[in-house]
Amino acid sequence: MSLPSDFLWGFATAAYQIEGSTDVDGRGPSIWDTFCAIPGKIADGSSGVVACDSYKRTKEDIALLKELGAKCYRFSISWSRVIPLGGRNDPINQAGIDHYRQFVDDLLEAGITPFITLFHWDLPDALDKRYGGLLNKEEFTADFENYARLMFKSIPKCKHWITFNEPWCSAINGYNLGIFAPGHTSDRNKSPVGDSAREPWIVGHNILIAHGKAVKVYREEFKPTQGGEIGITLNGDATYPWDPEDPADIEACDRKIEFAISWFADPIYFGDYPASMRKQLGERLPTFTEEEVALVKGSNDFYGMNHYTANYIKHRKGTPPEDDFLGNLETLFYDKNGNCIGPETQSFWLRPNAQGFRNLLNWLSKRYNYPKIYVTENGTSLKGESDLPLEQALEDDFRCKYFHDYVHAMAKAVEEDGVNVKGYMAWSLLDNFEWADGYVTRFGVTYVDYKDNCKRYPKKSARQMKPLFDSLIKKAEVEAAEAAKPAPAVAEEQAEEADA
């Protein structure tokens, strides 16, 4: 047993991926509704119009969480459901607020701790059309601050808030590659608008300012009476050198993490971007004003960690192209000697490597002085899972092994390395709308039958989680007994006195 008795474990989802009901009870469109309507943007031509129908099935989803033994549940709020047009001077939709407030009440009544994400990529479409959305620092940060204040005020019972989910994905996938909403890219075959070399860094900067503003509001106006905590969730992969004897590959491993995670974490913990990013990007990387440094630095009560996979990293020589966002390197699944990082999944970017999870937990802990960490997403797809008949899909042994290996790697990081992990949320509670992959890829521990009224069927991995965590979480009385034990030096002294 190596996880603390107050350790929280459960599952995670996101509004646009599960809720459906996109035009119900006053909800306005988000940039994802608009993006999905463009032919060719989603693998199967689908959208989140129905998804898992979870907006209408909150009680069913809570019953499922309770049945599986979950201690916590991370979900996101659809901004355009509570402020349909998104802006600080736009009308509020009380039906949307009432929905989320009731959902939190029902979760707490079921003994499940809510973790609320304010922004999981689904910006109100009106803000994108009105002033360019995430590209407009003054307008976007002011509107996000207003939205955050509204939610803090409306749902005082929530004690765990996440401002942004994976800002890297919003910035790079949305404004460099163009594969996520709003689809900006320099590739004119994919989009008529976008500047892949500049827009992502502007978007990342604006998200950090918006995050800082929301945290300031929470700490000054709500935390004194509500007593909760607030942070941001960042995503990143583990790294191994392609050639472990090449110092340039070893250095590139750190640079890869810096371009993915430290891009956002360094300003929050240290007040500025990593030197490696400044060196490569130059003036394209925005500069923080003194006011912005004061706003952003220290704006994390915890570190939200999304993690799935690992890569071998091979450095590149010469000047990187302007639209490079990796740090002048290659990410590979095979190293110099032909060793494979892990088995294939349905997701081209994901291969399991549990040791990488432990390594990254240590890397982050050492760099950021051992912060409290919540693992807010971790999970895997299975190759060909959507093609399996229901009975076979429920026997997801591959996913079971993934969770077993990753959770044990995390527990070892806690027990043996001193990493301060306080919670773990598996991605995902349900098979759902997997963004650009549509419904082709499944990540859920619960099978959703999209052809039969979105019926839910827990998979083997869903049933595995409670016994897995029960075997690792210490009982409170064990912790109390351990705490009461004298320190080794004192115990030795007491033994000597007893002998005497």
Cα 80–chain centre separation = 20
101-136: pLDDT as tens digits? 999 999 999 999 999 999 999 999 999 999 999 999
In a 13 Å sphere around the CA of 145, the CA atoms on its Cβ side amount to 19
132-175: pLDDT as tens digits? 999 999 999 999 999 999 999 999 999 999 999 999 999 999 99
Positive or negative, the CA dihedral 468, 471, 472, 476 is positive
306-358: pLDDT as tens digits? 999 999 999 999 999 999 999 999 999 999 999 999 999 999 999 999 999 99
CA dihedral 86, 87, 92, 95 (to 10 degrees): 10
Q: What is the CA radius of gyration of the chain?
A: 23
| Residue 481, both tokens | 């007994």
| Residue 362, both tokens | 């240590």
Nearest to 430 by CA among 455, 453, 451, 405: 455
Q: What are the chain's domains?
A: 8-499 (3.20.20.80)
Angle at 196 between CA 321 and CA 129, to 5 degrees: 175
| Residue 324, both tokens | 């490079």
Q: What span, in angstroms and rounded, lies between the C-alpha atoms of 328 and 136?
A: 28
- Rounded to an integer, the average pLDDT of 214-233 is 98
Q: What span, in angstroms and rounded, lies between the C-alpha atoms of 200 and 102?
A: 36
The active-site residue, picked from 19, 199, 258, 377, is 377
83 pLDDT exceeds 70? yes
Q: What percent of the chain has pLDDT over 70?
A: 96
N- to C-terminal Cα separation, the chain: 36
Considering the entire predicted model, what is its pTM? 0.96
490 pLDDT exceeds 70? no
pLDDT score for 333: 98
pLDDT score for 481: 74
The residues with which 305 forms a beta bridge, in sequence order, are: 234, 375
pLDDT score for 488: 57
Q: What span, in angstroms and rounded, lies between the C-alpha atoms of 427 and 173?
A: 20
> What's the chain's average pLDDT?
96
Instruction: State phi, psi for 124 to the nearest 5 degrees.
Output: -55, 130
The active-site residue, picked from 145, 166, 258, 434, is 166
Matching residue, tokens 């119900």: 24
Q: What span, in angstroms and rounded, lies between the C-alpha atoms of 93 and 77?
A: 13
pLDDT score for 482: 77
- Rounded to an integer, the average pLDDT of 60-65 is 98
Q: What span, in angstroms and rounded, lies between the C-alpha atoms of 18 and 341?
A: 31
User: Is residue 377 annotated as a catalytic residue, yes or no?
Assistant: yes
- Rounded to an integer, the average pLDDT of 360-377 is 98
pLDDT: is 495 or 18 the higher one?
A: 18
pLDDT score for 500: 47
Amino acid at 52: C
- Rounded to an integer, the average pLDDT of 234-249 is 98
- Rounded to an integer, the average pLDDT of 243-251 is 98
- Rounded to an integer, the average pLDDT of 196-202 is 98
User: Is residue 166 annotated as a catalytic residue, yes or no?
Assistant: yes
Q: What span, in angstroms and rounded, lies between the C-alpha atoms of 198 and 196?
A: 6
Under 8 Å between Cβ of 3 and 473: yes
Q: What span, in angstroms and rounded, lies between the C-alpha atoms of 119 and 131?
A: 18
Q: What span, in angstroms and rounded, lies between the C-alpha atoms of 382 and 302?
A: 31
pLDDT band of residue 413 (cuts 50, 70, 90) is: very high
pLDDT score for 496: 58
Q: What span, in angstroms and rounded, lies between the C-alpha atoms of 438 and 188?
A: 23
pLDDT score for 85: 98
pLDDT score for 477: 63
Under 8 Å between Cβ of 363 and 305: no
